[in-house]
Structure 1
Amino acid sequence: MTQPMFLTLADDSWQRAHYAFVVAAGGLSLGRDVTIFAGGRSVLALTPDWKGLAGVIADSELETRGIAGFGELREAVVDLGATVMACEAGLRMAGLSEKDLLDGVTVRGIVSFLELAGDNPVLAL
């Protein structure tokens, strides 16, 4: 059995969120269980319209360069079975509620995420 992967995001950087989904997709493709916890304004990455993130590059522009778009990566990560969590406090900080999130995203606090991670390393992206 492979070691699970725990990723956390904390700011509204589109680039960090995009890369977190790249890392998550890679881990999932290797058979690892992956959990992503979005805190602070990074919860914007878990909404249908992620345009509120800072520094967004359009998916169409990425795809012309042969790079997976944000929407494609995020969908793949969810379809491959990642656990995706949004921070309760982060939602309040971003002025969002649970109904603003994608289907399948659970709302939890940092303690729940850390409890799930246990003694496993947590990658902060």
Structure 2
Amino acid sequence: MIVEARYERIHAALMLAATSCALGQSVVLFGMGAGVAAFCARWEGLEDGTHADWRTAAGVAGLDDLRTALLEMDATLMVCDSGLKTMGLSAGALAEGVGVVGLPTFLDRAGAARMAVF
């Protein structure tokens, strides 16, 4: 679950999710509130992205690469409908493959899975 729009938090969440997928685990990512920024095609609302170039120069996967990899590995990416509204965004702002659902749908989909909050 991603609830903040800070670059470092989103990067950590996507790294953990991509690593989990690569190890064969099922991954569901859900954005609430400001965390919706992690699922926007153009990263609307992303805070403090100053380290993006630094990571890329160091050969570390960036946010776009990580999100693309997650979608290619069949991770489920969803945002909360109320979070999208709160951020003043429409579903059209989201990256391809991101669903808009309510919190009950996320909880049902996640089931008894281990959860990390970023």
Normalised to the residue count of structure 2, the TM-score between the two structures is 0.92
What CA RMSD, in Å, does the superposition of the two structures yield over aligned residues?
A: 1.3
Instruction: Indicate which of 28, 31, 39 corresponds to 1:35.
Output: 28
Candidates 74, 79, 97, aligned match of 1:86: 79
Q: Deviations over 1:54-90 (max 9, x none)?
A: 1113543311112111111111111111000011011
Which of 58, 68, 77 aligns to 1:65? It is 58
In 1, Cα distance between the equivalents of 2:103 and 2:84? 12
1:47-58 superposed matches below 5 A: 47-50=40-43, 52-57=45-50
2:115 maps to which of 109, 113, 122: 122
Using the size of structure 1 for normalisation, the TM-score is 0.87
Which residues of structure 2 form unaligned runs of 5+?
none
State the identity %: 33
Q: Once the 2 structures are TM-superposed, how far is the Cα of residue 35 of structure 1 from its aligned partner?
A: 0.4
Segments of structure 1 that go 5 or more residues without pairing to the other structure are 1-7
2:77 is equivalent to residue 76 of structure 1: no
Are the structure 2 counterparts of residues 96 and 51 from structure 1 closer, same or farther at C-alpha, using a change threshold of 3 Å? closer
Aligned length in residues: 118
What SS does structure 2 have at the residue aligned with 1:11? Answer: coil
